Amino acid sequence: MTQESNDRTIRVLDPATVNQIAAGEVVERPASVVKELVENAIDASAGTIRIDITSVQGGIAAIRVTDDGCGMSPADAELAFAPHATSKITKLDDLYSIHTLGFRGEALASIAAVARVTLVTKPRGSSMTAGTRVVVVGGVVNTKGATGAPEGTNVFVEELFFNTPARKKFQKSLNTELARIHGILEGLCLAYPRISFRLFYNNREQLVTERTSQLLDTITRVFGNDYARELLPVSADLPLLSISGYISRPVLSRKSHDHILVSINGRYVTSPSIIAAIREGYGPLLPRGRFPVAFLSLSLDTRLVDINVHPTKKEVRLTKEKEIGEAVRDTVFVTLHHSNLIPDGTIPSPDQSEHKPANVSSTYTVQGVAEPSAPYDIRNMGSEKIAAPVSSVTSHTLFNEPTHTGTVSTDHRLRQTESTGDVIPVTAMVPPMEVIGQVGGVYILAAAPDGELIIIDQHAAHERIFYEKVSRTLAVKHAQELLIPVVIHRTPRDAMLLRELIPALAQEGVIIEEFGSDTFLIRAVPAIMGKCEGPEIIDDLISDLLSCDLERPLSDRERIIRIIACRSAIKAGTVCTYEQSQRIVNQLRATHTPFTCPHGRPTMIRFTRAKLDEMFGRT
């Protein structure tokens, strides 16, 4: 600025400054450039859109978006860079019936205000042999002329933020930026399965989708088979809106709602109210703190959607937001309650890597909580141990003769989780099952009425049962005093952590007193686990609690309950009688969330009769 700083005369800003300020809103970061350019290509009805990102020295150096869309005439090619120049609306009213992603005429002007942009374009089906090339640097047209070009448009952006150093400095790391670009493209790919998207980073292919009319094909391309196989189709034609897409079985869930992608009238949007509605539709079917995966498109009267809330158009304002939310929630609920939610065992298991530690051994560990060890090592259960009883049994029973002490303890645990309140609700989401046998003391085999074979992980199942029981019980009233208090000693660091947890533990019935010099007295334990085991279980519980920092985002209560459930549940490797196995199955059916253990891994998988027939060549 040339004026003195103490000159307070009002003046109209020059267009270049206005554009730079406006650019700040539309072009926050490199990822916003990608979003705007790709949306322009979609609006130009492209069939294929290619995005090339180049990086130099840990920063994004160039972005190129190439499309085979309608292209622009020489006059339009230059006009496109003028602020508020758009071919998409002519008057305010048009906003209420908009079917394009752009309409503000700001993107190209804003990007060109803070970068060097080269646009090469030729109208589709034009008789011209040459296309147009326009170069705009910092908002000023630098070159314009004819050039050889294919039909469609190619926008090349370099030197982003060269004239706004403050913004350049605030760029996050390259990886954060690339992750954002991926996120934006995932949303657009799913909102437009009929367009083929190709993302390249430093000439390496990152994401490619083919043109398809099947959304599931695109989901598979973007998120892989593991997702696709756990998705349930959603389709609802309601008075207010129609909803289509896919939602996940409870077994496929995530720590955040980052894979709930919603588009409204073809526009991929962020809508906290719709995300909340989808989550509500699952109710207790998902563990606390977990979110489903969902890809939903909503179509509604364009007059109910105000997209002109923010320059980036990612937020929308919905008239009848509450009614729309309720419709989404109910649709999700009905879809889940009309589907078989037990994961299909014939397809490889979903990627649980999100909560699987690097070295997954045969005892599955989740989020730092080790499954308690079995009374004897499962891996040492040599074939002769199983083979002997199996060969001597008649017909379909596979039950071992359990040891007496084991049976008593298992009976006790099953009594703890049984109550007259455990009536299987009429709306039980798991079919009645008849137990057939037990494998390796780990899995229960059961048959469902329609000929399905169901395999239940006995520890995961009982953990789920225990967890719900403990959550429902007001434990303070059910603390059981130990005859002889257990003394535990901890390192100073652990002692400090434990001190903080004393009140929360007391709430759940674990009464601990400090005894000086990092020693503690355990006076009482929750009655529900009281008789299950010796005092070591409490020592283990405390160790678990202090070691699972990973679960920090969960409340203390939630962590304590999960650990109590995990420690008290029947362990893998415990040989159960037929009757005990049947009790586990029945108790599981009576839970609210029968499909997953509290950590989110499956409690059961199924093999459909049709699939079994197919595998045996009976079809």
Contact flag: residue 572 with ligand ADP (CB under 6 A):
no
Question: Residues 80, 134, 304, 561: which binds ligand ADP (CB under 6 A)?
Answer: 80
Q: How far is the CB of 40 from Mg ion (least distance, A)?
A: 4
User: CB under 6 A: which stretch of 100-108, 180-188, 267-275, 508-516 binds ligand ADP?
Assistant: 100-108
Question: Residues 30, 102, 325, 602: which binds ligand ADP (CB under 6 A)?
Answer: 102
Q: Give, as ranges, the residues between 62 and 121 that touch Mg ion (CB under 5 A).
A: 102, 107
End-to-end Cα, the chain, rounded Å: 81
Contact between 548 and 367 (Cβ < 8 Å): yes
Question: Residues 67, 186, 371, 551: which binds ligand ADP (CB under 6 A)?
Answer: 67
Residue with smaller CB distance to Mg ion, 40 or 596? 40
Query: For tokens 């399965």, what's the residue?
Result: 193
Residue with smaller CB distance to ligand ADP, 32 or 586? 32
Q: How far is the CB of 81 from Mg ion (least distance, A)?
A: 12
Rounded to whole angstroms, how far apart are CA atoms 181 and 179? 5
User: CB under 6 A: which stretch of 96-104, 395-403, 510-518, 530-538 binds ligand ADP?
Assistant: 96-104
Residue 106 binds which one of ligand ADP, Mg ion, none, with CB within 5 to 8 A depending on kind? ligand ADP
Residue with smaller CB distance to Mg ion, 110 or 471? 110
Residue 80 binds which one of Mg ion, ligand ADP, none, with CB within 5 to 8 A depending on kind? ligand ADP
Q: How far is the CB of 506 from ligand ADP (least distance, A)?
A: 60
- R_g (Cα) of the chain, nearest Å: 31
Residue whose Cβ sits closest to ligand ADP:
102
Question: Residues 85, 128, 386, 504: which binds ligand ADP (CB under 6 A)?
Answer: 85
Rounded to whole angstroms, how far apart are CA atoms 557 and 569? 18
Report residue 42: phi and psi, to 5°.
-65, -45
Q: Which two tokens stand for residue 243?
A: 């909803």
Residue 88 binds which one of Mg ion, ligand ADP, none, with CB within 5 to 8 A depending on kind? ligand ADP
Q: Which two tokens stand for residue 572?
A: 């893998």
Which one-letter DSSP state was computed for residue 352? -
Which sign does the torsion angle of CA 553, 559, 561, 565 carry? positive
Residue with smaller CB distance to Mg ion, 40 or 263? 40
Residue 340 binds which one of Mg ion, ligand ADP, none, with CB within 5 to 8 A depending on kind? none
User: CB under 6 A: which stretch of 64-72, 392-400, 425-433, 500-508 binds ligand ADP?
Assistant: 64-72
Q: How far is the CB of 433 from ligand ADP (least distance, A)?
A: 56
Rounded to whole angstroms, how far apart are CA atoms 390 and 397? 8
User: CB under 6 A: which stretch of 68-76, 260-268, 278-286, 525-533 binds ligand ADP?
Assistant: 68-76
User: CB under 5 A: which stretch of 37-45, 256-264, 393-401, 523-531 binds Mg ion?
Assistant: 37-45
Helix axes 578-589, 458-472, angle to 10 degrees: 50
CA distances from 85 to 56, 71, 88, 120, 440 (A): 33, 16, 9, 18, 71
Rounded to whole angstroms, how far apart are CA atoms 575 and 292? 34
Question: Collapsing DSSP states into helix, strand and coil, what is residue 50?
Answer: strand
Residue 68 binds which one of ligand ADP, Mg ion, none, with CB within 5 to 8 A depending on kind? none
For residue 588, the tally of other CB atoms under 10 A from its CB is 27
Q: Which two tokens stand for residue 262?
A: 């919603």
The set of residues, in sequence order, having a beta carbon less than 8 Å from that of 355 and lying 6+ positions away, is: 255, 366, 367, 599, 600, 601
Question: Collapsing DSSP states into helix, strand and coil, what is residue 241?
Answer: strand
Rounded to whole angstroms, how far apart are CA atoms 425 and 524? 34
Question: Residues 19, 20, 32, 40: which binds Mg ion (CB under 5 A)?
Answer: 40
Contact flag: residue 88 with ligand ADP (CB under 6 A):
yes
Contact flag: residue 87 with ligand ADP (CB under 6 A):
yes
Query: For tokens 């008057």, what's the residue?
Result: 91
Residue with smaller CB distance to Mg ion, 43 or 371? 43
Q: Which two tokens stand for residue 42?
A: 């979609």
Contact flag: residue 108 with ligand ADP (CB under 6 A):
yes
Rule CB under 6 A: which residues touch ligand ADP? 36, 40-41, 43-44, 67, 69-72, 80, 85-88, 102-109, 153
Give the interface with Mg ion as residue ranges (CB under 5 A): 40, 102, 107
